[in-house]
Structure 1
Amino acid sequence: MADKLEALETWAAGLLEKLQPAARNQLARSIGQELRRSQQKRVQTQLNPDGSKFAPRKKRDLRGKQGRIQRKAEMFKKLRTATYMKARGDSNAVTVSFTGRIAKIARVHQFGLKDRAERNAPDVNYEQRELLGFTDADIDLIRDGLLAHIKIDN
């Protein structure tokens, strides 16, 4: 995957140098938004960039009050919204990242780190669930976006 990304970067460098800074900004913003949508869909389907499923949640007792069963909560439902997953682009880079304190939660899951679920709770080792990452489709999306933008300018 890294080889494909490096090959795309070298291929695109020559084309991007010919664009004006304003056009590069516009291109970076549009590619960033498309990448964010792609990442949101992948997180919704709960797949890692390599196509494997996310590690399942730990089993919990879903009975709250007597006689009520809560519906199964979807993992990372709020995390993938545009409020928390931001796409930024300028003439030099495109970034898709998480903001605020949500970034810490995302980092713990991205790398499978140890954290506390709440204050004074014991440390828990979280399974690795890659929330952000490049798939082959994402690299194709970047290449196609760049080609479409260059066709419009010419």
Structure 2
Amino acid sequence: MKATSDQIEVGFFGWVARVARVHQFGQHERVDKKEVIYQYPRRPLLGLNMLEWKLVRHSLLHHLQSS
């Protein structure tokens, strides 16, 4: 996490970022030193359903129209 007086940034870095990316997009990854590779299923860390996407879109458009 990185924060300033007017913004905040949250993310994954290093090894944690790689693990998050593999799970987010369902990629393959080596699971041991014997070079066994496993295809992970796609498991989004943050998922929005259609109603949530519509609410975000509506909120954003409302904000832009108000500016």
Please, what TM-score do these two structures have when normalized by structure 2? Answer: 0.55
Tell me what 2:26 maps to.
Answer: 112
Structure 1 position 119, deviation (Å): 1.7
User: Aligned residue for 1:127?
Assistant: 41
Question: How much does 1:99 deviate?
Answer: 2.3
**Amino acid of the structure 1 residue aligned with 2:33:** R
Q: Distance in 2 between matches of 1:88 and 1:132?
A: 19
Percent of pairs identical after alignment?
A: 35
Change (3 A) 1:90 1:101: same
Aligned Cα RMSD in Å?
Answer: 3.5
Structure 2, unaligned stretches of length 5 or more?
A: 61-67
- What pairs up with 1:1-150 in 2 under 5 angstroms? 87-90=1-4, 94-134=8-48, 136=52, 139=56
Which one has more relative contact order, counting CA pairs under 8 Å at least 6 apart?
1
Unpaired stretches in structure 1, ≥5 consecutive residues: 1-86, 144-154
What is the TM-score of this pair, normalised by structure 1?
0.28
2-side partners of 1:111 and 1:92: how far apart?
31
One-letter amino acid of the structure 1 residue matched with residue 36 of structure 2: P
- Counterpart CA distance in 2 for 1:107 and 1:130 is 9
Greater share of residues in strand: 2
User: How many angstroms does 1:102 deviate by?
Assistant: 1.2
Q: Which has the larger radius of gyration?
A: 1
